[in-house]
A and B are shown apart, each in its own frame.
Chain A
Amino acid sequence: QQQVKQSPQSLIVQKGGISIINCAYENTAFDYFPWYQQFPGKGPALLIAIRPDVSEKKEGRFTISFNKSAKQFSLHIMDSQPGDSATYFCAAETSGTYKYIFGTGTRLKVLA
């Protein structure tokens, strides 16, 4: 019940395309869902986050879509660029605990 399932494991997208990464969870106590971006040799960096009281949050080219009833959320990267090539992790937290459950990661490669 503490797991966050992430898919796909890897993704190849053409420059300018849309990258979509999906996550699913079981624990209904989770109420904060951040996405992190990690480049090789670096720690994860917060990209965007959402709470379940909204169904969508957009920041620049990055959008989170959230489906509370299905217990699923996804990251959409519009107009994907080669510089977006990185590993992306979804995570879930019960508010205020700061104990994140991370997905297994998606390695994104954007072709120039």
Chain B
Amino acid sequence: ETGVTQSPTHLIKTRGQQVTLRCSSQSGHNTVSWYQQALGQGPQFIFQYYREEENGRGNFPPRFSGLQFPNYSSELNVNALELDDSALYLCASSPGTGDYGYTFGSGTRLTVV
């Protein structure tokens, strides 16, 4: 299987709820990062996982958390949703070495109402 797949593609949640977004990384990629892309903005780094360990975090509060599984798939969890959490959430994977760059998924569009 090639490419990065994310699910669901769209999601509507109510303020205060919790959400889990899922990502299957590209085959052979052991590094997964999550980005938040607000409308009309560039992606903002949330955190990165390398071999199931968090390997860096951007300027996001602790209610944003994640997991990486032995098969390198990943989850992003957001607790106590706020209206400003409405965004496109992108998962990106990399083989972790060399100048391959990230391969991004198509994202999950989260709307908080």
Chain A residues packing against B (C-beta within 8 Å): 6, 32, 34, 36, 41-46, 49, 51, 89, 91, 97-105
Chain B residues packing against A (C-beta within 8 Å): 4, 31, 33, 35, 40-45, 48, 56, 58, 90, 92, 94, 96, 99, 101-107
Contacts of B107 in A (CB 8 A): 42-43
11 A-B pairs with CB atoms under 8 Å apart are: A6-B42, A32-B99, A42-B107, A43-B90, A43-B104, A43-B106, A91-B42, A99-B33, A100-B35, A100-B102, A101-B45
Task: Known A98-B33, A99-B33; judge A104-B42 contact (CB<8 A).
Answer: yes
Question: Could you tell me the distance in whole angstroms from the C-beta of B49 to the nearest C-beta in chain A?
Answer: 11
Determine if B43 and A104 form an interchain contact, defined as CB atoms under 8 angstroms apart.
no
Contacts of A98 in B (CB 8 A): 31, 33, 48, 94, 96, 102
Residue of A nearest to B42 (CB): A102
Residue of B nearest to A44 (CB): B104
Question: Could you tell me the distance in whole angstroms from the C-beta of A38 to the nearest C-beta in chain B?
Answer: 8
Residue of B nearest to A32 (CB): B99
Give Cα A49–Cα B94 distance, bound, in whole angstroms. 15
Name which of B31, B43, B56 has the most chain A CB atoms within 10 A of its CB: B43
